[in-house]
Structure 1
Amino acid sequence: MDIPDVRNCIKSFLEGCDLVYPKTEAHLQFEADIVAESKRRGYITPENAKLRPFISTGVSMACNAYCHQSHEIQLFVCFYTAFLIYMDDSYETDIEHILPYNHNFITGEPHNDIILNYFRELMLEAPTLFGMAEANIIISATLNWITGLTIEQEVRNAQLGPSSYQLPTFARIMAGAAEAFALYIFPKEVPLIWKLQALTHACPFINGGNDILSYYKEQVLGETTRVALTSKCRGVTLLVVLNELVDEAVTAHRQTLIALEGSGSALEAWKAFSQGYIGFHAGSTRYLLDRLDLEAAA
């Protein structure tokens, strides 16, 4: 797929959601604070700085997508994002090493990667920040995300036929942790019923939006994507699948706005997040979006 096609899909996504491609800043002070807190917590030490390269992406997520949230939630989101990307990059070809994580999380057994032990400690903060029911969903989604790494590898390496066309989407949902990222949007005092009404629409927006905005990076790096696998199963072009994801994400965003009508702060939080989610991708060098000249296309 050519760059103009990818650029046009992103432009259609933004226009359909009434969002803009923003100019972003580096948030250097927040990152410095996060690094200091990482050292205080033991996440980063002179002997083990493996998490440090992933902090910047976490900063972009926290300061853009969750700019409306409190500092303590931004801090949690930053660490959560950094841990996920650390695991995604570190264990992509070493799935066997991470498979015991969910069992260890439940039993309290230490994992042989100290970074993952710190991740468990972070997750145990969720009930205080988000509420108990919300934390249950967040933790379930996170454990599914770990399992999703295995599922994605299996799907990526399989010979899939036409009858398996929904399997790439199932793998994407499992490995998206979208329920967690959706619940981080809302202040704790927002009634649970409003959060639940938003979830079913917010999750396809979060997963689909990331697929759309990360597609160029994945194509450049030769990664096997949900778009490519679905295209192969169905025998349609990559552009057809990417445009369908755009339509689904736009619909999900609009339905979230409708679901939250009358909710007050929950609706405002969603509006801030949805625009900030674009800012997260734009502000992270991970996604290579600066190569697409999207500011000029906006």
Structure 2
Amino acid sequence: MTMTEDSLFASTLDGNVLASIRRAIAEFLQRCGAHYEAYILDDAWHTECCQEAISRGIPMDGKYSIRPFIPACVALTANAYGHLPDRATRMWICLLDSVILAVDDHLVGGQDMEHMNRFNERFVNCQPQGNPVLNSLDMLLREAPRYHSPLVSNLITTSTLDYTSSIVLDHETKDMQISTKTPSYPEYWRILSGLPNAIAFLLFPSTLPVQEYIQSMPDLAIITGHMNDILSFYKEEISGDTANYISLRAASRDITKLDALREVIDQTVQAHHNILESWKPHTEAYDAYVSFFHGYVRFHCTPRYKLEEIMSERSSCDDS
């Protein structure tokens, strides 16, 4: 195994480095004006989403069940997309996100991966997919024009189709050696796998003209692509999970993971402030983004992401 591969697959368990990771993430939130706050739980919304999934024939039991993924997507919708005025749109987002998570979790190889490999072909040709969860993804994607303009629904759809291709790409490159001669590869992989454009377009009300926000989409794609990378990194490191963008970026650039994290933080903070500045004249876009941004941080305040522990690092720094 090469040094580059080691840097990808070895997690950081050094106490001093972990403390530096906590400080870096805490400083990221501070630089963006965000803070730890209790995330929104909505039991009634959870029940309604489950009932809607059942009524649509989306699998809720058995091998392809999306039930385990609904709570996280209910929380995501309530916190990050709660500003959207149309309840039906929020329901569609919740179900779409739940199915996407189920696809990623369930399709680990074999016949299911063959079906995944043909998803886009079957989608374009309006053919049945190979299993119930892929059929559900197909169905929900075709509903995008109900909730968004033709242009925006097209862009959401193509971003999601890229995501399905990324699952196949991950499967076919799982043993690939990471080269330091291709430092841009992690960006390409993240664009495919992270659904940055779909997530970004979903945060705007369908009535908002696209010209009010489209020029900031490159910055917004950085936000939607990298916020989860940053806010998930600490819990991934302490659990030994190295299959993430930060680790891949570090390996491809032959730098430490901490340095890679700091690079991504600087890039994301700059994108955040670019957006705030450019959308000051566009109140509706500005307000939607601010609500999404702080709601997305709030979503990560569940115990899973250990943000309370991370923010205590910031408090100790402030007190010293």
Question: How far off is 1:238 after superposition?
Answer: 0.6
Question: How far off is 1:246 after superposition?
Answer: 0.6
Query: Aligned partner of 1:251: which letter?
Result: Q
Distance 1:78 1:93 in 2: 26
Map of 2:5 onto structure 1: none
Structure 1 residues 152-191: Cα deviation after superposition (integer angstroms, max 9, x where no partner): 3445421122211111221011111111111111111111
Question: How far off is 1:6 after superposition?
Answer: 2.5
| Larger-gyration structure (1/2) | 2
Structure 1 residues 247-283: Cα deviation after superposition (integer angstroms, max 9, x where no partner): 1111111111122121111110001000011122223
Structure 1 residues 222-258: Cα deviation after superposition (integer angstroms, max 9, x where no partner): 2422221221222211100001111111111111112
* Percent identity over paired residues: 25
C-alpha RMSD of the superposition: 2.0
Question: How far off is 1:77 after superposition?
Answer: 1.4
Map of 1:43 onto structure 2: 58
Distance 2:54 2:35 in 1: 36
Distance 1:155 1:214 in 2: 23
Q: Does the CA-based 8 Å contact 1:201-1:253 persist in structure 2?
A: yes
Instruction: Give the number of aligned pairs.
Output: 295
Structure 1 stretches (4+) deviating beyond 6 angstroms?
none
Q: Does the CA-based 8 Å contact 1:22-1:295 persist in structure 2?
A: no
Map of 2:3 onto structure 1: none
* 1:74-89 superposed matches below 5 A: 74-89=90-105
Map of 2:141 onto structure 1: 123
Residue 259 of structure 1 pairs with residue 275 of structure 2: no
Query: Aligned partner of 2:137: which letter?
Result: F
Match of 1:63 among 75, 78, 96: 78
Residues 1:145 and 1:232: Cα distance change in structure 2 (over 3 Å): same
Map of 2:8 onto structure 1: none
Map of 2:6 onto structure 1: none
Residues 1:264 and 1:191: Cα distance change in structure 2 (over 3 Å): same
* 1:45-194 superposed matches below 5 A: 50-70=65-85, 71-93=87-109, 95-194=113-212
Distance 2:109 2:62 in 1: 24
Q: What is the TM-score when the length of structure 2 is the normalising length?
A: 0.86
Residue 28 of structure 1 pairs with residue 46 of structure 2: no
Question: How far off is 1:117 after superposition?
Answer: 0.9
Distance 2:60 2:197 in 1: 31
| Structure 1: stretches of 5+ with no match in the other structure | none
Structure 1 residues 203-229: Cα deviation after superposition (integer angstroms, max 9, x where no partner): 101111111112133331524222212
Map of 2:262 onto structure 1: 243
Q: Does the CA-based 8 Å contact 2:36-2:301 persist in structure 1?
A: yes
Distance 2:75 2:202 in 1: 15
Query: Aligned partner of 1:234: which letter?
Result: R
Range 123-132 or range 138-147, more displaced: 123-132
Q: Does the CA-based 8 Å contact 1:3-1:292 persist in structure 2?
A: no
Match of 1:278 among 288, 297, 307: 297
Distance 2:279 2:307 in 1: 35
Q: What is the TM-score when the length of structure 1 is the normalising length?
A: 0.92
Q: Does the CA-based 8 Å contact 1:21-1:295 persist in structure 2?
A: yes
Residues 1:87 and 1:272: Cα distance change in structure 2 (over 3 Å): same
Query: Aligned partner of 1:265: which letter?
Result: E
Residues 1:156 and 1:227: Cα distance change in structure 2 (over 3 Å): farther
Map of 1:293 onto structure 2: 309
| Structure 2: stretches of 5+ with no match in the other structure | 1-11, 315-320
Distance 1:181 1:291 in 2: 22
Residue 205 of structure 1 pairs with residue 223 of structure 2: yes
Distance 2:243 2:207 in 1: 40
